[in-house]
Amino acid sequence: MEAAVTKAREEPLPPHHVAIIMDGNGRWARARGLPKIEGHRQGTEAVRKAIQAAIKNGVRYLTLYGFSSENWNRPRKEVDDLMGLLRGFLRSEIAELHQNNIRLRVIGERSQLNSDIVRLIEESETKTAGNTTLDLVLALSYGGRAEITAAARRLSERVKSGDLTPDCITGDEFAKYLETADIPDPDLLIRTSGEKRISNFLLWQLAYAEFVFLDALWPEFTTEHFAQALFEFGLRDRRFGASGT
């Protein structure tokens, strides 16, 4: 009995916040001779699986990189298709998210999104604001450099107005001006498709996150892949810059 209790105590805690770069939709479609939109459409099914897995494993925050600021440079038809899928998600999934006590939050530059999508986002955020099982954070029209630049601009405006002195600007103070100010930094970043880069995603917030890169393309992502990433996370020795033993 004592050994069982000791083993239970040694079980690693799940990451509080998981961020995912959902990569490989286009390659998945191309390998099957399908238009790219079919890869993105199948990717929305993987989003549902990731949400289910996060809740099952006790993850409190799940951030998904849905559309980067650089993605606006893709062909117009692909962008329009992606925006159509986003509209569909916001219209069809919010009721279920709300029913499952999930809060939706969106970070990114909304001014570039169509007004009807912004309205759907605002309505969804308002409807789910009180939910507490999982915070689902969608990064849309988001870029890490742009976020940091905007935060620096807001800080400089406060210094210029005399509300803040330069020596008061610490890392903690700077983080208050990011879009994720009230969201804890990710403990774990997962990227699918085998690519090993972070692509301008949460540049400030990922400073001490653990990275797990999966070969599976995003439309292939399953709860088992999520569990695999959590297992790898549990094996890591997180020291946050301190010396190892």
Which are the catalytic amino acids? Answer: 23, 71
- On whether the CB atoms of residues 105 and 138 are closer than 8 A, the answer is yes
**Residue 101, Ramachandran bin (φ over 0: left; ψ between -120 and 50: alpha; else beta):** left
Helix (H, G, I), strand (E, B) or coil at 11: coil
- On whether the CB atoms of residues 132 and 100 are closer than 8 A, the answer is no
Residues 240 and 228: their CA atoms lie apart, in Å, by 23
Q: Which of 143, 81, 134 is nearest to 112 (CA)?
A: 143
